Structure 1
């Protein structure tokens, strides 16, 4: 089964905002699994000087806070692991030498210990654990990954996208613009794969205000046998996971019928990548050893009679930092095959005590109210967009099975728009709540399945060594999936 989660995000248990309980409440509203990550240590932190005094003291205060409350944090994470939401224990190690890692464990006895390297910490903690490198694209020695010291035995997964940006390659979408600096081509995913490193791709938010899974900041898809800690843990160790930037893009990638994380033997290879997106498909690329092997563009897709359509309803805008509550419902005389709720919290990446923000910045009441084959109802809350390039809108994407005459009713905050699929294929509609600087609703144009589903097949022969195949998929709305490698040798 395909499960969705965020394995790296923060709240006020160290330097961040929001309570642990509220962060877990938000995770429960829209995720299958999560960590809530505390900042724990920085073994090679700068020497304390007048120039670095603030940053050193700020971090050490955060580390001390986590240590003092670790037992209660660990107990709460264990209590919340109830099957509806799967939780893992986690904390973070900063390192200039090794790059930053978050340490994840499925064991509730996971101790908070201090070591000078991720490898030593994993070896000495006494329970099962992995160290996941994150925001890897920063400059070597400046908290970006150190591929020379990377150890796939303790780091079978690498975080490839988050709020910091995307580190797949020098030309990947979402460059690094955080104050930690730019993306360095020496520290990309491609650079690691070309060195022969073996790992799967994860996406996480690295949100610092208690909103795990915040839309558009990164998310991990896991192909697990069931929704449980042990099954998700086994999938992570086996490489059956991949990263998306936000939209829950379903990906099925195989080489000679074998899937993610597998090693294929034989000179002749048949590759297949099937993708089901949430919006108009832009392109699907299968890579061999980080070079394009096969490409399919959305413009190449031929229209055909559709059996299903995706409809996106987006809410937000306005000019207020106060929360606007939205109550919505979609009904149809066709069949509602499924729906995804995409939620954003107030966005914070690396808060300091200069932010002046309240402690609980994301006490937001989001929930699914109703879901069956005829209706989907929800409640969510938004604030104004941070800029024209940083939206804070929420959205619902519903998949509706039917034909051109199928009728869809969209009701948001008491206002209803009724249209046929044929009308929605011609275009969407918007409306505003107030005369000026108003919150608004946008019903996007419907997308037929022939435009959001792609299948790309290719044949290839081995190069003589170990070949690495992975896939990348882009949508017209800028959302991506980065599909983890399959390895092939003779």
Structure 2
């Protein structure tokens, strides 16, 4: 089986989001294998319209009506973009619920009807016998305030739960990426850890919940799926089997097994449990945390072991170099045209880290622009020695909300190998030896201008991790083991549990 990367929860102007549907799908193709464009469809227990809630209620009702009026067009467009083995789409839409928490339904059927229901469970039942699942998302909000309702949770309709998005991380009350949206803070009762401690079983998903039509927008949430091939049927089977894990942005490739059973599995073990983890990341791996039944069980310091061994000047191997573009004061967008060349080495792979403009929810002053995220972000081509791309960046929203773009080059060479970047007519070049010492930055203009950053080069042993642990202690009739990976650049992966029956 192979890892495929996707976003199963992205919004655009088909309801109360922004941006064109075709533009959203075109952006997804550039850096994902699959996606679902989700329209907001209903809120059965929405608060009553008052003067204070006038805008909230009105934009929801207008969005729901817009999706209903255009459902056939939306459904047919999504169907058209599904090309087996090239790019996969799923049909779906969202149901808000104060009582049960928000869910988006997903389906492999292009005949999925848009119907109204009183709850996520009722909606799935009404859509039967079509293949449909309901994915709870931003579950960490207050119970009864559109947070999860674990008492009503059913893994029969929800084999996986979204644990990270633009809303933040819902793994635990102390996880990185807290909730800062107007919907409120995280509540420990509604975290993923709380659900695992209750004995609930589900896989982990990451998706953007981005509201301006940019699936896979870097840093906002993505999902990895282990499937036999890139088709709707194969990826759907993997979702049902919970062979999934959540990532923030970097495509951190993971394999995690217990006695050979892959993440998401249920397995019966009568003796020793052998946990095996293999990770191939995109930056220095800082920390690996293994959890058992929601409690920290083992921790490994990946950064310490990586720093014990840096490459010699003549040593050949693989390295990753992230080249990031952006900064400056341009709020209308700055177009980068770039070309990379490697001398005395070769390019093994290129990973794009492109973002859409940052939108999570509408505000009274915002007007829809179908081209809001028609940015031209594209890896045009790459070979063993060169790569070309275009991308758009914007002034960072704040010092905590970047709007930069980046490419991660995996290179094969030695510290004398040299990477040259030409952007917008200017040329910058550094050897791997220099980049192993630290990052290097450059500006395009004398002051307050866009800038380019060559991040510190990462040798292969530092972005890879492999370990094995043994456990002889049964705590429950069904013990759940899951893993968190943290890189030094604050990019994470949360691997779905393996459920071990005694």
TM-fit CA distance, 1:463: 2.4
Contact 2:225 2:238 in 1 (8 A): yes
SS in 2 for 1:71: helix
Equivalent-residue separation in structure 2 for 1:167 and 1:105 (angstroms)? 24
2:336 is the alignment partner of 1:326: yes
TM-fit CA distance, 1:328: 1.7
SS in 1 for 2:262: coil
Aligned residue in 1 for 2:289: 285
- Cα shift readout 1:118-149 (whole Å, capped 9, x = no counterpart): 11111111311100000000000000010000
Structure 1 range deviating more: 143-152 or 351-360:
351-360
2:313 is the alignment partner of 1:303: no
Aligned residue in 2 for 1:476: 488
Task: Please point out which of 87, 90, 97 is paired with 1:88.
Answer: 90
SS in 2 for 1:334: strand
What does residue range 107-118 of structure 1 map to in structure 2 within 5 Å?
107-118=109-120
2:469 is the alignment partner of 1:458: yes
TM-fit CA distance, 1:457: 1.6
- Cα shift readout 1:220-265 (whole Å, capped 9, x = no counterpart): 0111111111111111100111000111111110111110111222
**Number of aligned pairs?**
490
Aligned residue in 2 for 1:273: 277
TM-fit CA distance, 1:359: 4.6
Equivalent-residue separation in structure 2 for 1:339 and 1:484 (angstroms)? 27
Aligned residue in 2 for 1:3: 4
2:63 is the alignment partner of 1:62: yes
- Cα shift readout 1:310-330 (whole Å, capped 9, x = no counterpart): 000000001011221112222
Aligned residue in 1 for 2:235: 232
- Cα shift readout 1:394-427 (whole Å, capped 9, x = no counterpart): 0000111122222322222222233322222112
- Segments of structure 2 that go 5 or more residues without pairing to the other structure are none
What does residue range 283-432 of structure 1 map to in structure 2 within 5 Å?
283-297=287-301, 298-301=303-306, 302-303=308-309, 305=311, 307-332=317-342, 333-356=344-367, 358-432=369-443
SS in 2 for 1:87: strand
Equivalent-residue separation in structure 1 for 2:374 and 2:87 (angstroms)? 19
Equivalent-residue separation in structure 2 for 1:335 and 1:202 (angstroms)? 34
Aligned residue in 2 for 1:46: 47
- Segments of structure 1 that go 5 or more residues without pairing to the other structure are none
Structure 1 range deviating more: 372-381 or 168-177:
372-381
Contact 1:311 1:446 in 2 (8 A): yes
Aligned residue in 2 for 1:100: 102
TM-fit CA distance, 1:335: 2.5
Query: What RMSD in Å do the two structures reach over aligned CA positions?
Result: 1.3
Task: Please point out which of 427, 447, 466 is paired with 2:458.
Answer: 447
- Cα shift readout 1:137-179 (whole Å, capped 9, x = no counterpart): 0000000010000111000010000000000001110000100
- Cα shift readout 1:367-388 (whole Å, capped 9, x = no counterpart): 1111222222211111110011
Structure 1 range deviating more: 324-333 or 445-454:
324-333
Contact 1:304 1:450 in 2 (8 A): no
Aligned residue in 1 for 2:201: 198
Contact 1:262 1:487 in 2 (8 A): yes
Contact 1:16 1:208 in 2 (8 A): yes
Equivalent-residue separation in structure 1 for 2:479 and 2:11 (angstroms)? 37
**What is the TM-score normalised by the length of structure 1?**
0.97
Equivalent-residue separation in structure 1 for 2:266 and 2:368 (angstroms)? 49
